[in-house]
Structure 1
Amino acid sequence: MMTLTQELRIADERAERVGWRGWAALVVLMLPVLLVSVDNTVLSFALPQIALDLEPSGAQQLWIIDAYPLVLASLLVTMGTLGDRFGRRRMLLIGATGFALVSAAAAFAPTAALLIAARAAMGVFGAMLMPSTLSLLRSIFTDRDQRRLAIAIWASMFSAGSALGPIVGGFLLAHFSWGSVFLMAVPVLIPLLVLAPILVPESRDPHPGRLDPLSILLSLGTMVPIVYGITEIAVHGFSPTIAVLFAVGLGFGILFVRRQLRAETPMLDMRLFQRATFTGALLVNLLSVIALVGFLFFVAQHLQLIVGLSPMDAGFALVPGLAAMIVAGLVVVPISKRFSPRIVVPGALTLSIAGYVTIAVVAGSDSLVAIIAAFVALGIGIGMAETVSNELILSSAPPSKAGAASAVSETAYELGAVLGTAILGGLLTALYRGGLVLPEGLSPSEAVAARETLAGAMHTADSLGGALGDAVRDAASHAFDAGVTTTALIGAALVAIAAVVAATMLSRSR
């Protein structure tokens, strides 16, 4: 049986540079990437309006964010493998159609429960979209230099979408209801459905082996309990039920790995994880996304609910950091040709650590300059780290397994999004509730609303008005910013762990 190293060497020897058609296909593949990144950022900025309109509980507010990545993370490996077998372009088109339809339904959800259900359905089709875009890049750009640039553009489009999301979303939220942010999916995905069959070549694993339903069930049995348990910790804290969920997920995970190791044609090639570079790059992805999503979770609320900016103005305040992330992702391409990833990634992440420490120091102040500078530092570090780590993940896998490798990479990304909200967002929520000291004179219902979320406290303060309303507002702001200090230091520690992983596990070669 051919070793993984031999497969990679043969793939590199057969690599050919693509012409204009390949780059045109890249442009088409950027559409779903742009959509997903815009959707993630817009949702953070739309959350205060959703909270006021649908009045979700604290648990429902977290689930509005987490339902999508929970389902998506649970299905990515399955969908990536199905793309390898049945065609990556086909999965892309099915996912785009379903995502557009469900997004339109989410825009008109009348209750928090139905919005959560729509977000979960979006996760099913999103799991078809994301591995397909990255794996198709691997099959189109076989030359590593071209692929490195293509992946830098791919990663930068995530950042560009994040930068565009607050501005477009802010405009929509200023003139329309929050449902308009979901309707954006329709005009973005229609060009994809028209152009992808023309410009994007179909690709699949030439030797996919048989479909293994048991492996699919085992992968779901692994991911769903673990991700659900993490989310529940953020809302209710640790409990025996959480321990059972983790045990169940771990048990199914062990069975999944054993089945893949014994199978002649496994659903997921476990040999990939024997390469320290592949595993290290995945961990860098995971920890970096946790830090980024956690940062956006509390900064978006601080800018709108405490500083008092409109959604659009809050989006503009974050544009410099997101633009820095885009530029850093492109600038790192020539740098990575001269220096080892073991040097480039830890050096970049040092800037992200500085950004989080800055937030911890200035928490409690309304200094926009400090917040913008902190996000610029965070964005530069994560922009560089994500480009290098994604390229290492794809280059560590043979082209025939591009879908599975991309799915694992996207699983780390989406799991990071869940953990970013669950760990940092959940911790901040717990610190806010524990540190909130409400003034006398509130009714029980007003006190419950103020303790549930920061948006609930500000709405209560506005409805009360006068000195009592100002006292509620000041108490909520103080409790929230005090929680941000602790949360930011934990975020800095997570980025530091990612830097250590990069320094010890990534490739020494340029």
Structure 2
Amino acid sequence: MMPVLLVSIDNTVLNFALPAISEATQPSGTQLLWMVDIYPLVLAGLLVSMGSLGDRIGRRKLLLIGSAGFGVVSVVAAFTPSIEGLIIARAALGFFGAMLMPSTLSLLRSIFTDRDERRLAIAVWATGFAVGSALGPIVGGVLLEHFAWGSVFLIAVPLLLPLLVCAPLLVPESRDPHPGRIDPLSIALSLVTMLPIVYGIKAVAENGLSLVGLAPVVAGLVFGVLFVRRQKRLTTPLLDMTLFRRGAFSGAVGVNLLSVTALVGCLFFISQHLQLVLGMSPLNAGLVLVPGLGAMIVAGLLVVPVARRVRPSIVVPLALTVSASGFALIALSGGQIDAGGLALAFVLLGVGIGAAETVSNELIVASAPAEKAGAASAVSETAYELGAVLGTAILGTILTASYRSNVILPDGLTAAQQHSAGETLGGAVTVASQLPTDAAAQLLDSARHAFDSGVGVSAWIGVGLVVSAALVGAIALRRAR
């Protein structure tokens, strides 16, 4: 559970540190999105390779290597002075993070052979994400109020040191008894499939349909076809493609992908709305989300006895319907919503996603043979991380585009101030602090209204994503028990 807590705290803390990073490093809107996106982008590209590598060399060994590397890079990121350096550090964190998450879920598959025990263990695993997400805003809020933004990266150190000491003593090693050889070409093909597809989606979301956006997507799909064809020919493939013929497996992966896309996109705009529009401190903004994260924990645990008796094709869509109502609450407000409304919306969102993802993750690992647990877990994590990329790329870029087109800048700004205030809300807040009172008030009012105009649109997209996930669950999981 230590790496689970680490990754979830790290992701939530970063969302709440965005305003401080924005003000300190003065990034463009694109640089800010890349700083957020590069970690899950690299992670998503390497998860399948790392999951399969863990099956071969040992899941615990890979977990320890990833933990050591993640800790060292976190310290480097904490003291990086520029946005370019942060983007590079986040990419390195993605490389080592790819070693962590498939190892945790696949180790649960090998340790808990009884399905009822495993379902509860996976509920606790999923709860670890919610607990970390709940702790992240509180711990991060305290750090951001008393220390520089780099302190949020140092949270990794006290979590990783006990892991490196205790894991060799407490966690049994497991691996595929007949692993076969590692295929470098398959690893390369998995990377050149994921990276251009995600880059292209970002480009299309930001600039509309154009050759710059569509060409990488097409290239990624071509490499994806080559990857699948190669896996079918290999005796010991990097990823066993027959897993996707099982409705429970592919349906659960689809539910994870769509629901996480919606959740991460929601966190991207909620954290900024609370701090930069409503003027809350990082700590108070984090506390607003704690009830929703607590609801996610409770729902994930309470769904375990329900899932023993009720089919996934019923449980998952009903849970996600509750989440859709949370997004609808934000969308119907048109983005003009107070802290109490956001707290209620996030409770509804947390209840649905907490219950649905406990069921879907258990289906993923139960559908795969034990010796392929690492690869199957990696597919589950790939859906999570690709969803994180898509959530920021689609909802975040729509939000940025709406802001750019609606913000009205006061006269008298320098070229640098115009660029900073016109790119992001955080930049506008920084520029406003340098202006006379009347001009500052004019800029802040315009910037906040421009930001909230995009929040309403993004929330409606969130409704569509969660409803789509519910439909996938109802159709693809109908034979799963």
Report the TM-score range of the alignment, normalised by the length of the smaller protein.
Answer: over 0.9
Residue 69 of structure 1: aligned partner: 40
Query: Is residue 307 from structure 1 mapped to residue 278 from structure 2 by the alignment?
Result: yes
What's the TM-score, normalizing by structure 2?
0.98
2:291 match: 320
Deviations, residues 256-275 of structure 1 (Å, cap 9, x unaligned): 10111111221111110000
Match of 2:145 in 1: 174
How many Å apart are 1:324 and its aligned residue? 0.4
Amino acid at match of 1:460: V
Which shows bigger deviation, 154-163 or 357-366?
357-366
Alignment of 1:348 onto 2:328: no
Which residue of 1 is the match for residue 80 of structure 2?
109
Aligned to 2:369: 398
State whether structure 2 residue 178 is matched by structure 1 residue 207: yes
Distance 2:323 2:221 in 1: 32
- Out of 50-59 and 291-300, give the one that drifted further: 50-59
Larger CA deviation: 451-460 vs 164-173:
451-460
1:418 to 372, 381, 389: 389
Would you say the 8 A contact 1:151–1:387 is kept in 2?
Answer: yes
Q: Is the 8 A contact 1:66 1:231 kept in 2?
A: no
Q: Which residue of 2 aligns with 1:294?
A: 265
Q: Which shows bigger deviation, 313-322 or 446-455? A: 446-455
Offset, 1:442: 3.4
* SS of equivalent to 1:266: coil
- Aligned partner (choices 35, 43, 61) of residue 14 of structure 2: 43
Q: How does 1:336-485 map to 2 (within 5 A)?
A: 336-485=307-456
C-alpha distance in structure 2 between counterparts of 1:300 and 1:472, whole Å: 20
3-state SS, counterpart of residue 149 of structure 2: coil
Choose which of 113, 120, 134 in structure 2 pairs with 1:149.
120
Check whether the contact 2:26–2:420 (CA below 8 A) recurs between aligned residues. no
Aligned-residue offset at 1:507: 4.2
**Cα deviation 1:430-460 (Å, max 9, x = unaligned):** 1111122334443433222211001011222
User: Which amino acid counterpart does residue 402 of structure 2 have in structure 1?
Assistant: L
In the alignment, is the contact (CA less than 8 A) between 2:120 and 2:301 conserved in 1?
A: yes
Counterpart of 1:218? 189
Rounded Cα–Cα distance in structure 2 between residues aligned with 1:463 and 1:379:
39
> Which residue of 2 is the match for residue 492 of structure 1?
463
Which residue of the partner structure matches residue 108 of structure 2? 137
1:15 corresponds to? none
Give 2:134's aligned residue: 163
- Aligned to 2:433, the other structure's residue is in SS state helix
Aligned runs of 1:95-106 on 2, under 5 Å? 95-106=66-77
Shift of 1:416: 0.4
Q: Which residue of 1 aligns with 2:224?
A: 253
CA contact 1:328–1:384 (8 Å) conserved in 2: yes
Name the % identity: 64
Q: Which moved more, 1:302-311 or 1:358-367?
A: 358-367
Q: Deviations over 1:47-92 (max 9, x none)?
A: 1111111111111101111111111100000000000011000000
1:21 paired residue number: none
Secondary structure at the counterpart of residue 491 of structure 1: helix
Contact 1:307 1:366 in 2 (8 A): no
Unaligned runs of 5+ in 2: none
Unaligned runs of 5+ in 1: 1-29
Measured in 2, the distance between the counterparts of 1:62 and 1:142 equals 41
Map Cα deviations across residues 360-389 of structure 1 (whole Å, 9 max, x no partner).
Answer: 122443522111100000010110111110
- Corresponding residue for residue 199 of structure 2: 228
Please list the CA deviations of residues 73-120 of structure 1 after superposition, one character each: whole Å capped at 9, or x if unmatched: 000000000000110000000000000000000000011101110000
How far, CA to CA, are the matches of 2:122 and 2:374 in structure 1?
Answer: 15
Paired residues, number: 481
One-letter amino acid of the counterpart of residue 79, structure 1:
M
* Alignment partners' CA distance in 2, 1:243 and 1:365: 34
**Paired residues for 1:111-130 under 5 Å:** 111-130=82-101
